[in-house]
């Protein structure tokens, strides 16, 4: 996709008015910066760990959270939604991804700080690949053990969200410093997310959009690879109070290293104490599709969440989150 043939038409009429031209600005800027990056194929990008979702709550709903983004994990899914967070909160998540691949583990720690000027959030994430044996070839072409090697990925993120005065429109963004290490090679890079969030005058409806991972290419000891850039648009709808406490979510994603895919899900919240979640994702192409399941338990100021997600031939993934408001 080239910038010259990129055309965007985004017009939604709500209550007789044209829905915000401003919602285009961040998306257009992100796509222009990404440029040719949307022409990639599976495996063409580096730092794939940036695609791993944060928060077991969102994963239980199929990874559809861009148009809801109402808790601490909005920093990852859509930083513009952070303005909905009203209390300080800290969260830790552990992910056991792809259980058919031994040695993998992912940890994520985040905190959010609402202020009079906006909502500020930070996070640090770490992905470990485990140790693997290393071999040389002798003169008879036989493998000879040569110790072990390992690999890690890390990211430090800071984000900020604010709301336009007198309007239900939120803007937000985040910047990330990313570092990767494979055996004796390492790489450093930078990227950013930019999003927008809108609550129209339709009870229960929310709409969001975000460009993720706009940034530098990553070079180890070969040609540099782009980051996993993606455009995400989502919406959520909470049923009226006269009906069961259910929220429905839907996301659409256009990535630069896979075919476009959609995620859909729902959450039933029983007395703000027990939540049950169900979702479905049609991609990404290289991870597979399928149902997701999850639940959450709230006790006073603590929240525990769990989610299960299929990952095709790679196995299944399990997310565990623990959050506390303070």
Q: CA 23, CA 206: separation in Å to the nearest integer?
A: 13
Confidence of residue 137 (pLDDT cuts 50, 70, 90): confident
**Tens digit of each residue's pLDDT (9 = 90 or more) over 258-286:** 899 999 999 999 999 999 999 999 988 77
Location of structure tokens 């597979």 = 288
DSSP annotation of 47 reads -
Q: Confirm if 174 and 74 have CB atoms less than 8 A apart.
A: no
Q: How far is CA 293 from CA 6, 62, 90, 143, 157, in A?
A: 37, 8, 24, 44, 28
The residue ranking higher by pLDDT, 316 or 7, is: 316
Structure tokens at 142: 């036989």
Q: How far is CA 89 from CA 70, 111, 195, 276, 324, in A?
A: 12, 6, 21, 22, 6
Question: Quick one: pLDDT at residue 32?
Answer: 45
**Closest to 10 in 3D by CA, of 232, 67, 19:** 19
Q: Which of 54-58, 246-250, 257-261, 286-290 has the lowest mean pLDDT?
A: 286-290
Q: CA 77, CA 67: separation in Å to the nearest integer?
A: 9
Query: Which domains, and CATH codes, for the chain?
Result: 13-325 (2.40.160.60)
**Tens digit of each residue's pLDDT (9 = 90 or more) over 183-227:** 888 999 999 999 999 999 999 999 999 999 999 999 887 788 999
Q: What is the mean pLDDT of the chain?
A: 86
């Amino acid at each position: 996709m080239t910038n010259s043939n990129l055309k965007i038409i985004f017009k939604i009429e709500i209550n007789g008015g044209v829905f915000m031209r401003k919602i285009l600005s961040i998306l257009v800027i992100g796509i222009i910066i990404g440029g040719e990056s949307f022409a990639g194929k599976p495996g063409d990008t580096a730092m794939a760990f940036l695609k791993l979702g944060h928060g077991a709550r969102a994963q239980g709903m199929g990874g559809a959270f861009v148009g809801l983004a109402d808790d601490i994990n909005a920093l990852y899914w859509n930083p513009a939604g952070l303005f909905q967070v009203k209390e300080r909160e800290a969260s830790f998540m552990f992910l056991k991804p792809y259980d058919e691949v031994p040695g993998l583990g992912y940890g994520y720690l985040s905190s959010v700080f609402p202020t009079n000027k906006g909502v500020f959030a930070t996070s640090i994430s770490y992905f470990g690949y485990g140790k693997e044996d290393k071999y040389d070839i002798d003169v008879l072409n036989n493998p000879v053990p040569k110790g072990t090697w390992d690999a890690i990925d890390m990211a430090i993120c800071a984000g900020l969200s604010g709301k336009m005065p007198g309007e239900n429109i939120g803007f937000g963004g985040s910047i990330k410093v990313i570092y990767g290490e494979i055996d004796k090679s390492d790489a450093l890079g930078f990227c950013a997310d930019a999003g927008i969030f809108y609550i129209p005058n339709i009870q229960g409806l929310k709409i969001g959009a975000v460009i993720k991972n706009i940034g530098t290419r990553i070079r180890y000891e070969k040609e540099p690879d782009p980051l996993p850039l993606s455009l995400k648009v989502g919406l959520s709808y909470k049923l009226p109070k006269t009906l069961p406490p259910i929220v429905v979510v839907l996301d659409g994603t256009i990535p630069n290293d896979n075919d476009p895919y959609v995620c859909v899900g729902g959450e039933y919240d029983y007395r703000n104490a027990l939540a049950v979640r169900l979702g479905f994702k049609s991609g990404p192409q290289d991870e597979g599709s399928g149902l997701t399941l999850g639940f959450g338990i709230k006790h006073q100021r603590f929240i525990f969440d769990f989610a299960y997600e299929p990952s095709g031939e790679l196995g299944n993934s399990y997310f565990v989150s623990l959050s506390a408001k303070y």
